Amino acid sequence: MEGRARVFGDDVNTDYIISSSRKRKTIDPSALAPYLLEGVSPAFAASVRPDDLIVAGRNFGCGSAMEVAVTVIQAAGIRAVVATSFARSFFRNAINNGLLVVECDTSSFQEGDSVSIEVSDAAVDVHNVTRDVRLAAAPLPPIIQEIIASGGLVKSQAGHLFLKK
């Protein structure tokens, strides 16, 4: 996966990702996508391109555990979030919804840098192509890779979870 780094700092909480005031009217991710990260960067959502990746600091996705914080990122066309660390609830919601989340040192990234992510059974490698910095990321177990590759999980009427594909 390759894309353009859209850089944010530490402690980007779920209310920054999508404001609570926006969620009062709807939780439809497609309707909310134009408001993605508006509290941090009002012009962000309108500037997102299909190859953009979010790159952030520590504790990305802290705050409430609402899945819409993940699904609105996906609805905006962002395929991955690379961060120094994630709030555990955001991390699990991302995996369950098929959004690639990668933990590594993000200090070398600047807005607009070209990023490459390679996921294999043995490792996750992140390359800041612009600055020629290669980073070893936290590995993703095979089951997590399978869930992400399948686009996430769906719940049956009986409450059982299945891969989407």
Return the pLDDT at 162: 77
DSSP state of 134: E
Mean pLDDT within 123-150: 95
CB of 96 within 8 A of CB of 68? no
Indicate if the pLDDT at residue 138 is higher than 90: yes
What is the average pLDDT score of the chain?
94
Distance (Å, whole) CA 64 – CA 15? 8
Return the pLDDT at 164: 84
Indicate if the pLDDT at residue 155 is higher than 90: no
Indicate if the pLDDT at residue 94 is higher than 90: yes
pLDDT in tens, 26-81: 999 999 999 999 999 999 999 999 899 999 999 999 999 989 999 999 999 999 99
Tell me which residue of 153, 3, 163, 162 sits closest to 78, measured CA to CA: 3
Indicate if the pLDDT at residue 140 is higher than 90: yes
**Helix (H, G, I), strand (E, B), or coil: what is residue 35?**
helix
154 confidence band (pLDDT: 50, 70, 90): confident
